[in-house]
Amino acid sequence: MPELDESMEEGGGRAFWSGTLSFGLVSVPVDLLPAHTSARASLRMLDADGTPLARRYYRPSDDKEVAAAELVRGREVDKGKLVVVTDEELEALAPKKSREIDLRRFVDRDSIDPMFFERSYFLAPGKGSGKAYRLLTAVMERSRRAGIATFVMREKEYLVAIFAEDGLLRGETLRFADQVRSSRSVGLPKAARVDAAATKRMSRAISALTQKKWDPDELADPHQAIRALAERKFKKKQDVVRHRASERDEGGEIVDLMQVLRDSLAQNDLATKSTRRSGASRRPTSARRASKKTTKRASAKSATRVKTAARRR
């Protein structure tokens, strides 16, 4: 199951999706909010001069870059054999747009294996749903039941388990059954017989580290350390690089310096041949002057192009 777009989760406490939680004759407006904050310290790839690098698609056979307009999608169904899937075919498979969370059934909340959990979200009460929302949350929490539902967002269908905790509904997007491996697929060897003394030693080792509750603050987030390191170095002006956006990013023309030189030489050769064919000695003085001016202008333009290309390089 694809993950929800993280760009929709920015903004702290603001809802990024609103709809109606529905089952039977019950309809409860809800707002979907992220239960997590992004703590990833993203790092960019740079060259030796500190210029950010970009990923591009290219054809391995001739190292030619492929434009975005030329890209198509395909799925490999056999080794070395791919089937092309068009945008129209993908649109036909996309679920219909809806603003409804279709709550299909209720199950014992402890029967859902955490292996299926993917991401957590809060379902806050929407406009005008206060009484119905509180009633649904209270009954689900008292009966220790969870709801299994589906909903569509951005042309993707998501499977979600809905729990009630502390008067609030929480949703866990779920992986589908074919995305979760069973313990049998790991291929564990047959259990060996363990003596009583080894069992006691293991029990003592576990008891020494046992606490009544888990404290999530005990573990430090390594991404926070990376972010703090970058901020310290920035304040000290250490290893700070400045770069200009590349001409490709600015929409500028990519100039091939050697090609400019070839064009310049070709223009000079053409001007010389044209002058010889016309017979410069037979021309009036004014015609010869005009020809010379044309040649000078062509040479000046070529020189300007060479200088410009060199500066860009």
Question: Does residue 263 lie in a domain region?
Answer: yes
Query: Are 20 and 140 part of one and the same domain?
Result: yes
Query: Are 10 and 153 part of one and the same domain?
Result: yes
Amino acid 239: pLDDT: 74
CA distance 133 to 124: 9
Question: Does residue 148 lie in a domain region?
Answer: yes
What six digits make up the tokens of 286? Answer: 């004014």
Q: Quote the pTM value.
A: 0.56
CA distance 134 to 168: 8
Query: Are 35 and 157 part of one and the same domain?
Result: yes
Amino acid 205: pLDDT: 92
Domain end position, chosen among 122, 155, 179:
179
Query: Are 146 and 294 part of one and the same domain?
Result: no
Question: Does residue 27 lie in a domain region?
Answer: yes
Amino acid 160: pLDDT: 92
Query: Are 275 and 168 part of one and the same domain?
Result: no
CA distance 211 to 56: 51
Q: Scanning the structure block, which residue is given the tokens 């689900």?
A: 140
Q: Scanning the structure block, which residue is given the tokens 């054809």?
A: 59
Question: Does residue 52 lie in a domain region?
Answer: no
Amino acid 304: pLDDT: 52
Query: Are 27 and 120 part of one and the same domain?
Result: yes
Query: Are 136 and 285 part of one and the same domain?
Result: no
Query: Are 128 and 15 part of one and the same domain?
Result: yes
Let me know: does 22 contact 101? Beta carbons within 8 Å: yes
CA distance 48 to 239: 12
Q: What is the CATH number of the domain that holds 14?
A: 2.40.290.10
Total structural domains in the chain?
A: 2
Amino acid 255: pLDDT: 44
Q: Any idea how long the chain is?
A: 313
Which structural domain, as residue segments, surrounds residue 159?
A: 6-39+94-179
Query: Are 171 and 277 part of one and the same domain?
Result: no
Domain end position, chosen among 179, 203, 219:
179
Query: Are 100 and 21 part of one and the same domain?
Result: yes
DSSP track, the chain: -PPPPGGGG-STT--SEEEEEEETTEEEEEEEEES----------B-TT-PBP----EETTTTEE--GGG--EEEEEETTEEEEE-HHHHHHHSPPP-SEEEEEEEEEGGGS-GGGEEEEEEEEE-TT-HHHHHHHHHHHHHHTEEEEEEEEETTEEEEEEEEEETTEEEEEEE--GGGS--GGGG-PPPPPP--HHHHHHHHHHHHHT--SS--GGGSPPHHHHHHHHHHHHHHTT-S----PPPHHHHT-----HHHHHHHHHHHHHHHHHHHHHHTTTTS-HHHHHHHHHHHHHHHHHHHHHHHHHHHH-
Q: Which residues of the chain have pLDDT under 70?
A: 1-13, 38-41, 94-95, 216, 218-223, 243-313
Let me know: does 172 contact 160? Beta carbons within 8 Å: yes
Question: Does residue 165 lie in a domain region?
Answer: yes
Query: Are 136 and 28 part of one and the same domain?
Result: yes
Domain end position, chosen among 148, 179, 210:
179
Query: Are 127 and 266 part of one and the same domain?
Result: no
Nearest to 158 by CA among 57, 305, 255, 32: 32
User: Between the CA of residue 147 and those of 124, 167, 230, what are the distances in Å?
Assistant: 15, 15, 44
Amino acid 8: pLDDT: 41
Question: Does residue 118 lie in a domain region?
Answer: yes
User: Between the CA of residue 125 and those of 31, 120, 122, 169, what are the distances in Å?
Assistant: 6, 16, 10, 9
Amino acid 25: pLDDT: 85
pLDDT digits (tens, 9 = 90+) for 88-109: 777 777 667 778 888 999 999 9
Question: Does residue 45 lie in a domain region?
Answer: no
What six digits make up the tokens of 214? Answer: 């888990």
